[in-house]
Structure formats: structure tokens, C-alpha cells
Amino acid sequence: MNKYPMTVQGARALEEELTHLTKVVRPKLSQDIGEARELGDLKENAEYHAAREQQGMVEARIRDIEGRLQNAVVIDVTTIAHTGKVIFGTTVELANVETDESVSYQIVGEDEADIKRGKLSVGAPIARAIIGKEEGDVVVIKTPAGVVEYEIVEVKHV
């Protein structure tokens, strides 16, 4: 089984979702199914079928989260010595060499990726291009808009 890197925050978010699904959503669905059953004929009981379908999706998500957590390698970047090198979990400030615009990304696991919040999947082209590089290095990244050169301005362990 493959192991997947995950930040402490990513693991915590999955654990919170799992707790919510098992302690709040699952019991509520069981109650809904019980109430729908009491309405009579199950063949034509839309509430019953909707609750059962919802239950199936919730159980699948619970299994998915449990599997992800079981195969996660949780990496707390704040406990790793700062060397200026880009590694999983670090937050990296990049400056576009041509325009001098800067962007900042944290390199996270696939489940945590959210580009609008500056969370970049470890498998994304930009992340793959900068991992292992150091502050001051210039990297050439092929983007949909063309080739862009970025300088790694700062690597933070936050």
C-alpha cells in the first residue's frame, strides 16, 4: 500500500470530518431511515430510498477517510530544521523573474490542495519543479500560459 504525505493540518481536518460523519451524520441517517420505514411500503417510499442512498455515500466517505488516514505519513514541517531547501510542507515565496510578481504556496498532500488558499499539491507541476531547490535558485516552470522563470525568494517552515 502506498503511503501519502500529509500535513498536520490536513490530518486534523480529515479526523474532524471523520468524527462529524460517525458521531453526527451516521446516527441522524439511521434515525431518518427508521422514520421512513415507518411510513409504510418501502417500494414506493422516496424518503427511505433517499436516506439509504445518502447512508451509502456517507459510509463510502468514512471508509475513504479511514483509508487515507491509515496510509498517511503526517509531516510536521515545524519540527524539521530550516535549511532553505524546499521540502513537503514548506511555504515557499516565489518571484516571477520577468514581472517581479510574487506568489506564496504551501506544498501539501493531494487531499489538502486548494490553489485559492495557496495550498499546492505535491504532485502539481510547480511543486515538482521546486522541491529540492533552495532559496535563491531560479526554476523554469512550464505553465499553461507558457514557460515562466521563478526565483525562490524564501522557504518557511510554518
3-40 pLDDT tens trace: 889 999 999 999 999 999 999 999 999 998 888 888 77
Claim to verify: residue 52 and residue 100 sit in the same structural domain: no
CATH number of 26's domain: 1.10.287.180
Claim to verify: residue 56 and residue 123 sit in the same structural domain: no
CATH number of 89's domain: 3.10.50.30
Question: How confident is the model at residue 123, as a pLDDT?
Answer: 93
Claim to verify: residue 86 and residue 125 sit in the same structural domain: yes
- Which residue range(s) make up the domain with 151? 77-156
Reply yes or no on whether the pLDDT at 1 is more than 70. Answer: no
87 burial via Cβ count (<10 Å: 0-12, 13-18, 19+)? middle
| Domain end (from 75, 103, 126) | 75
90-128: per-residue pLDDT in tens? 999 999 999 999 999 999 998 899 999 999 999 999 999
d(CA 56, CA 3): 26
pTM of the model: 0.80
